[in-house]
């Protein structure tokens, strides 16, 4: 997905207020799970949320991502955390967490509700008892503006990066067409392109998918950035099943 832009990721998204988002996440976690200490950030990217939640708010934060280039940056940025490479739909870690979160609409990259259910099931399996899942969704159908062209720019290691974004929608799918212009310190310029594919899911579809994954979910329509936010816990039926299995006390 970020094959052309991993090294410039933080420059491109320098408009994003990670500090304010970390405050919101920390406040949310402490309001719904005051004893929470550990967080797994799924689709963690370059680890900026992980770094700030650890440094500024005292959580022990690990991360998981599919992209090795993004993980390399995250490990440098937040050396106290463990960062794992893997798919959000199918990972198995030796740890369990008070919070498993997936932010910045990364869940949309799964494209289908079946894959979203697989990911949510995986998130639930990695929760400690009373743990919380937090998911920031992508936009639903009928919201994205396909006529708008947006430009963002930033600098990284003396290189100026500009990204132009155009959106395309067909039915329940969206495509983000990114064009990059990178000006190097020696005055040369190179260009690159990426296409990101994300599924469009309604609030009702997401709620049903959480339920199918064994999670009871609550939706905040605004969330961190106006895209909404889901918070969920293992449902009573799942909790009863776990108690019968006798495994919660063994989780670390």
CB 211 within 8 A of CB 120: no
First CA to last CA distance, the chain: 33
Q: What is the reported pLDDT for 157?
A: 75
Every domain of the chain and the residues it spans: 6-140+201-250, 149-199
Q: What is the reported pLDDT for 146?
A: 96
Strand runs labelled E in 67-220: 83-85, 97-102, 127-135, 149-156, 159-170, 173-183, 189-199, 215-220
Q: Buried b vs exposed e over 96-113: b needs ≥16 C-beta within 10 Å?
A: bbbbbbbbbbbbbbbbeb
- The Cα–Cα gap between 51 and 78 comes to 5
- Is the pTM value of this prediction over 0.85? yes
Cβ neighbours of residue 2 closer than 8 Å, sequence gap 6 or more? 9, 67, 69, 70, 194
- Mean pLDDT calculated for residue range 45-66: 98
Q: What is the pLDDT of residues 88-147, one digit of tens each?
A: 999 999 999 999 999 999 999 999 999 999 999 999 999 999 999 999 999 999 999 999
Say if residue 246's pLDDT is above 90.
no
Backbone angles phi, psi at 177, to 5 degrees: -100, 115
Q: What is the reported pLDDT for 250?
A: 38
Q: What is the reported pLDDT for 7?
A: 87
pLDDT confidence tier of residue 240, bands split at 50, 70 and 90: low
- The arrangement of secondary structure in 149-199, i.e. its CATH architecture, is Single Sheet (2.20)
Say if residue 243's pLDDT is above 50.
no
CATH class of 6-140+201-250: alpha beta
Q: What is the reported pLDDT for 244?
A: 41
Mean of all residue pLDDT scores within the chain: 93
Say if residue 19's pLDDT is above 80.
yes
Q: What is the reported pLDDT for 129?
A: 95
Percent of the chain residues past pLDDT 70, beyond the cut: 94
Q: What is the reported pLDDT for 236?
A: 81
Lowest mean pLDDT among 185-189, 197-201, 211-215, 245-249: 245-249
């Amino acid at each position: 997905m970020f094959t052309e832009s991993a090294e410039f990721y933080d420059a491109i998204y320098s408009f994003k207020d990670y500090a304010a988002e970390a405050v919101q996440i920390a406040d949310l976690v402490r309001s719904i799970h005051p004893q929470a200490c550990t967080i797994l950030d799924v689709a963690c990217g370059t680890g900026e949320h992980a770094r700030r939640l650890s440094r500024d708010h005292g959580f022990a934060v690990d991360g998981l991502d599919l992209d090795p280039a993004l993980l390399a940056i995250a490990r440098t940025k937040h050396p106290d955390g463990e960062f794992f490479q893997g798919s959000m739909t199918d990972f198995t870690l030796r740890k369990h967490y008070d919070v498993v979160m997936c932010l910045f609409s990364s869940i949309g990259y799964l494209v289908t509700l079946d894959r979203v259910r697989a990911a949510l099931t995986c998130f639930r399996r990695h929760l400690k008892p009373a743990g919380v899942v937090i998911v920031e969704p992508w936009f639903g159908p009928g919201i994205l503006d396909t006529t708008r062209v947006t430009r963002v720019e930033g600098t990284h290691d003396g290189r100026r990066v500009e990204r132009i974004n155009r959106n395309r929608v067909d039915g329940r799918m969206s495509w983000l067409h990114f064009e990059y212009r990178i000006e190097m310190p020696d005055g040369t310029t190179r260009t690159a392109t990426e296409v990101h594919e994300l599924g469009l899911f309604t609030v009702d579809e997401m709620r049903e998918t959480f339920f199918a994954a064994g999670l009871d979910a609550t939706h905040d329509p605004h969330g961190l950035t106006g895209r909404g936010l889901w918070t969920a816990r293992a449902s009573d039926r799942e909790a009863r099943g776990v108690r019968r299995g006798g495994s919660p006390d063994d989780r670390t």
